[in-house]
């Protein structure tokens, strides 16, 4: 060490300038996102400090290390397995009736953890921002993410920000990954279905898909339908408490209930029979589907569970679900049958049946 | 159960058709990515099965649950803390000398885990694909990811695919998140620097940034410089074995060595003095920087560590690094000083000093 040089440095005019800039509190002064916000330098640091760290507000994120870390022994008090998942969110428009891309990015990943029987704990968050995105839009979305994270009882602990030129992305895309701990003794899997099991859903189907479709404004339709975007972990806690033997659980997002049930039927090599009159559908959603020739079974949801339980638990589970705010309109909608394996049948009110296959084409791009 | 109905279903012409389609092995028949590949239906399932599941080839991913899960007790045999990180990759161009966006997405996240002293274990992978991306391009990138994952000893265990309309993204963006386990007793943090500590890097600086700059073809320059994209976990294992007291470790990506050292200096409230003649720089990188007025200290790297160790370990660590393929050109490049706190100084060959501040503007957008 050479104290004389250090002394010299402190008196250096550049050092004075550096100190002056650094003493300023971190604050994004631009009104729109610029390429500099993704450069790794001062502008990015200000964006991270002023928007992400300040809003998400937790001591793990604030350390700004390249990774978050957690004590494994503490995690082990919650269960015996770690769950890990990811989803990217590209929904268009980014604000839509009832929710926005930020809230969706939290609830979607919380739900993907919760359906394994895990307690969701920590999320990562990767932003891809288009140059020119208004800073106020970003602030609003980040605020929604914080509220959603608090609601679901999770923390956003690590993240990343990239900026691409105008026209190289559409406003913003968000990736969240998440970790949680699966309770000991729980075994939830698409492979567990057995003939005789009951199939339940926790409320009206197709709200999210319909809300997005209407929000795009390409159709001359007006409705009051809002996205059902909500966290499902608390409802799932209740269900598991009553029925630790729950066979399979999944949230019916892209591809809707039909896709989840087809995956269940194929994984377990069983058949599934749905009872059409039992499917909870809002009149408005049914109306939109009839006008547009859509099948509500394929419409996306962002707060709807499909669950399979042994038949003897069906009524108790249903009652518990109905008494929870996320499950007031729960229904038993079908049963597992031995044959035909891998096939989902829909039984109409008239007793006729049709096959509900996997979606072949694309119903609605950028739904989540 | 009503076997008669099931029997009827099996004879149903639609069921026969469903069975015929399902018996076909999953195969992407399109030559480019379409919106249907992101719809949640059959086309997406084929894309996932034919490209991701087949290439990444591991039993956890193949289950196609909405989340991967791991035994916590097994994780605890590797250390006492879980590390969790994420990065999105938007590099332009997606193929560049020495590497591509896929390999980068694996090594980048592996390195973000490894610099905490963690053994990187499992990665998630979220793709955002632009409609029209050639399927062969996607296959090639996914293959690179698999090779990189094998090299680094990690598994890709969960993922997500979204497709956006042509013009709403630029070819493809990849997010990876990762989990690993930090060895017991290791405490690596940007807050740990102490005056007297030595600062080392593991080889030539600025190769990645220069390679991308040249690959964009906007400059009439030709060089043989390749990206230094590589996993650093094995090198870090060696370093920690020799020096469990390593203070701080970070890979110098966006913003380069200058940014990492500024973060270290600010977090630990110490000064840092770099010795300019000791900085390992290729002549070609120096040449490009001189022509374009760039400072190589801010250029991105994708396989370069900045590490701080107590002075007494410096020479032993340096020798170990030099004997590793990822550290042949390692150098001791600086020292930690008590004052001025939060400032990085560069001492030239002539003994003069200048301040190396945080980058203010943007040097190179979409570098990673």
End-to-end CA distance of chain B: 57
pLDDT of residue B10: 62
* pLDDT of amino acid B18: 65
Rounded to the nearest angstrom, the minimum Cα separation between B171 and chain A is 9
pLDDT at residue B41, rounded to an integer:
85
**Residues composing chain A:** 368
Cis peptide before B340 (omega within 30 of 0): yes
Residue among B9, B45, B124 minimizing CB distance to A85? B124
* Domains, chain A, with CATH or none: 15-182 (3.30.1330.10), 198-355 (3.90.650.10)
User: A54 to chain B, minimum CA–CA distance in Å?
Assistant: 18
pLDDT tier for residue A311 given thresholds of 50, 70 and 90: very high
Quote the CA–CA distance of B126 and A310 in Å, as a whole number: 34
Which two structure tokens, joined as six digits, stand for B147? 């090779």
Cβ distance B365 to A1 less than 8 Å, yes or no, reads no
Q: What is the pLDDT of residue A63?
A: 86
- Interchain proximity A254–B358, CB inside 8 Å: no
Look at A364 and B39 and tell me if their CB atoms are within 8 Å: yes
**Which DSSP string corresponds to B237-287?**
HHHHHH-TT--EEEE--TTHHHHHHHHHHHHHT-EEEEEGGGS---HHHHH
Angle at A133 between CA A130 and CA A139, to 5 degrees: 120
* Structure tokens that stand for A9 in this block: 């440095």
Report the pLDDT averaged over residues B287-315.
95
Residue A1, class by beta-carbon neighbours within 10 Å (0-12 exposed, 13-18 middle, 19+ buried)?
middle
Contact A184, A301 (CB under 8 A): no
Rounded CA-CA distance B315/A341 in Å is 67
Q: From the candidates B177, B198, B257, B264, which should be mutated to test the interface with A, based on the most A CB atoms within 10 A?
A: B177
Are the Cβ atoms of A72 and B71 closer than 8 angstroms? Answer: no
The pLDDT-based confidence of A14 (bands split at 50, 70, 90) is: low
Burial class (CB in 10 A: 0-12, 13-18, 19+), B317: buried
The reply to whether omega before B93 is within 30° of 0 (cis) is yes
Question: Is the model's pLDDT at A348 over the cut of 50?
Answer: yes
Nearest chain B CA: its distance from A282 CA (Å):
23
What's the CA angle centered on A230, arms A224 and A236, to 5 degrees?
135
Rg (CA), chain B: 24
Question: Would the pLDDT of A3 be above 50?
Answer: no
Question: A11: cis peptide before it, omega within 30°?
Answer: no
pLDDT tens, residue by residue, B235-268: 999 999 999 999 999 999 999 999 999 999 999 9
The bridge status of strand B271-275 relative to strand B353-355 is: unpaired
Structure tokens given for B214: 């040249």
A35 vs B contacts (CB less than 8 Å): 362, 365
Distance between CA atoms of residues B180 and A86, nearest Å: 16
Of A68, A251, A360, the CB nearest to B42: A360
- Among B233, B79, B237, smallest CA distance to B149 is for B233
For the cut 60, the answer to whether the pLDDT of residue A6 exceeds it is no
Burial class (CB in 10 A: 0-12, 13-18, 19+), B309: buried
Which residue on chain B is closest to A189 by alpha carbon? B65
The H-assigned helical ranges of chain A are 3-11, 13-23, 42-47, 54-56, 59-62, 72-76, 101-114, 135-152, 207-215, 233-242, 256-268, 283-292, 314-322
Residues above pLDDT 90, as percent of chain B: 83
pLDDT per position as a tens digit, A121-173: 999 999 999 999 999 999 999 999 999 999 999 999 999 999 999 999 999 99
Task: Name which of A164, A263, A365 to mutate to probe chain B: the one with the most chain B Cβ atoms within 10 A of its Cβ.
Answer: A365
Point out the residue among B64, B84, B337 whose CB comes nearest to the CB of A122: B84
Q: Which residues from B are below 8 Å from A158, CB to CB?
A: 84-86
CA B359 to chain A, closest CA, distance in angstroms equals 4
Nearest to A40 by CA among B125, B343, B40, B358: B358
Residue A4 is predicted with a pLDDT of: 44
Return the SS3 of A271. Answer: strand
Over residues B145-188, the pLDDT tens digits come to: 999 999 999 999 999 999 999 999 999 999 999 999 999 999 99
The alpha carbon of residue A186 is apart from the nearest alpha carbon of chain B, in Å, by 12
pLDDT at A7 over 80: no
Euclidean distance between CA atoms B48 and A238, whole angstroms: 33
């Amino acid at each position: 060490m050479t104290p004389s040089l250090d002394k010299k440095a402190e008196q250096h005019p550049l050092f004075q300038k550096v100190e002056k800039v650094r003493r300023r509190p971190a604050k994004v002064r631009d009104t729109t996102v610029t390429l500099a916000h993704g450069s790794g330098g001062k502008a990015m640091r200000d964006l991270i400090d002023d928007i992400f760290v300040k809003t998400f507000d937790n001591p793990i994120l604030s350390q700004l290390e390249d990774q978050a870390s957690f004590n494994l022994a503490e995690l082990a008090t919650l269960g015996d397995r770690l769950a890990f998942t990811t989803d990217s969110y590209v929904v268009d428009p980014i604000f839509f009736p009832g929710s926005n891309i930020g809230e969706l990015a939290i609830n979607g990943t919380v739900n993907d953890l919760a359906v394994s029987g895990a307690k969701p704990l920590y999320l990562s968050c990767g932003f891809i921002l288009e140059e020119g995105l208004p800073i106020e839009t970003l602030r609003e979305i980040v605020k929604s993410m914080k509220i959603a994270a608090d609601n679901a009882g999770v923390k956003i602990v690590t993240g990343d920000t990239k900026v691409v030129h105008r026209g190289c992305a559409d406003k913003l895309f968000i990736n969240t990954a998440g970790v949680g701990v699966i309770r000991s003794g729980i075994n939830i899997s698409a492979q567990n279905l057995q003939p005789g099991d009951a199939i339940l859903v926790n409320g009206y189907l197709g709200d999210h898909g319909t809300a997005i479709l209407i929000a795009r404004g390409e159709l001359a339709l007006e409705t009051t339908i809002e996205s059902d975007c909500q966290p499902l972990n608390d409802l799932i806690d209740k269900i598991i408490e009553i029925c630790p033997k729950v066979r399979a659980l999944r949230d019916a997002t892209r591809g809707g209930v039909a896709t989840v049930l087809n995956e269940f039927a194929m994984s377990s090599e069983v058949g599934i029979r749905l009872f059409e009159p039992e499917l909870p559908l809002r009149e408005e959603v049914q109306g939109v589907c009839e006008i547009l020739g859509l099948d509500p079974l394929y419409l996306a949801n962002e707060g709807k569970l499909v669950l399979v339980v042994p038949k003897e638990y069906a009524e108790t589970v249903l009652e518990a679900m109905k008494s929870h705010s996320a499950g007031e309109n729960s229904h038993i909608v079908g049963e597992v049958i031995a044959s035909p394996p891998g096939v989902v049948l829909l039984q109409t009110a008239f007793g006729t049946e049709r096959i509900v296959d996997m979606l072949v084409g694309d119903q609605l791009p950028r739904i989540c």
